[in-house]
Amino acid sequence: MAQTTPFPAYLPSWMKASFEQAAAAIEPIDPADFDQLQCDWYNAIEGHLTGYDCKACKNRGYIAVLEDGYQLHKECACMKIRRNRKNMHQSGLSDALDRMTFDSYRCTEPWQERARDAAMHYVDKQDGRWLYLAGQSGTGKTHLCTAVCGALLQRGVSVRYEMWRSLCREMQRFETRDQKLAEMAACDVLYIDDFLKNAAIQTAPNEPYRQTRLDGELRKEINLAFEIINERYIRKKPLILSSEVLLRPLFQLDGAIAGRIRERCGGFVIQIRHGEARNYRMQ
């Protein structure tokens, strides 16, 4: 209801009547409605973010909402996807993501079909579990893991890609170590490619029971591997590993690492047995 305005006495009555008429015609706005209107105005503005087209926030990255009478600008879900893409781009996996997909993975052998099906199954049934894909070089491990990452990214999961050897270097440098740990802790899914690459050289696939001598460098690598594995383990966050080290020799190298992998992967340990014909790079 419009309030009757106290008019100064000297105003002519026709003027008062006309003011009253005008005041009655204006719908008073409830302050809450006004806040909602402001949100709607903000939410109608077109934003300028590029790289991904979001209908929800019109590429502004933020959505205005009312919560307990307060106007809040909340980050839109697309920001996670945008950061993912940036991260993938920076990590050098973006080209690989286009090329290494489930569609481009050819299955001419039954073992390839098994490996692909297990990897696809992991995307659907991951549920916090880990994926360990092991086998000799050139068997498509990176291809399948990258396809898994691509499929997870499509679902809005944030994925971080690390190459084991560069990760080792960065973790050993005091200046980059903390930053690296923080980045890895922040992502939903961490993919480490060529896990234990140096150890792999020392555990010949045809002699899985050979006692491996843990020299200084290898010991360092194993300690680092444990640190990263354990961090993921404690945080209960998914981890994808591709490695040339099969699980059995890994148990011999370090039971604590292999045990955690075994436990978290459950059925998602894919192992490709050794065989020259299996090296895709030789074909």
Beta carbon nearer to ligand ADP, 38 or 104: 104
Does 152 engage in binding with Zn ion (CB under 5 A)? no
Beta carbon nearer to Mg ion, 130 or 164: 164
- The C-alpha atoms of residue 197 and residue 57 are separated, in whole angstroms, by 43
Does 64 engage in binding with Zn ion (CB under 5 A)? no
Q: Minimum CB separation from ligand ADP for residue 113, in Å?
A: 9
The single residue listed with the structure tokens 């360092």 is 220
Among residue numbers 119 through 138, which ones bind ligand ADP (CB under 6 A)?
Answer: 137-138
Does 265 engage in binding with Zn ion (CB under 5 A)? no
From 59, 126, 139, 202, residue interacting with ligand ADP (rule: CB under 6 A):
139
Does 141 engage in binding with ligand ADP (CB under 6 A)? yes
Please give the size of the binding site for ligand ADP, defined by CB under 6 A. 15
What x-and-dash track marks residues 102-141 binding Mg ion by CB under 5 A? Answer: ----------------------------------------
C-beta contacts of 116-125 below 8 A and 24+ residues apart: 116/144, 118/268, 118/270, 119/144, 119/145, 119/147, 119/148, 119/270, 120/151, 121/268, 122/148, 122/268, 123/148, 123/151, 123/152
From 87, 112, 139, 142, residue interacting with Mg ion (rule: CB under 5 A):
142
Does 81 engage in binding with Zn ion (CB under 5 A)? no
Using the rule CB under 6 A, give the single segment among 53-61, 76-84, 141-149, 158-166 that binds ligand ADP. 141-149
Q: At what angle do helices 174-186 and 164-172 cross, to 10 degrees?
A: 130
CA 132 vs. chain centroid, Å, equals: 17
Question: What pairs with residue 242 in β-bridges?
Answer: 133
Contact status, residue 74 vs residue 57, Cβ threshold 8 Å: no
Q: Minimum CB separation from Zn ion for residue 80, in Å?
A: 9
Strand (E) or helix (H) holding 240: strand 239-243
Nearest residue to 144 via CA among 180, 203, 103: 103
- The C-alpha atoms of residue 125 and residue 146 are separated, in whole angstroms, by 17
What x-and-dash track marks residues 11-50 binding ligand ADP by CB under 6 A? Answer: ----------------------------------------
CA 65 vs. chain centroid, Å, equals: 26
- The C-alpha atoms of residue 48 and residue 192 are separated, in whole angstroms, by 34
How many residues does this entry show for the chain? 283
Using the rule CB under 5 A, give the single segment among 68-76, 95-103, 104-112, 142-150 that binds Zn ion. 68-76
Using CB under 5 A, list all residues that contact Zn ion: 54, 56-57, 76, 78
Which residues here bind Mg ion, judged by CB under 5 A?
A: 142
Where does this chain bind ligand ADP (CB under 6 A)?
Answer: 100, 104-106, 112, 137-143, 242, 280-281
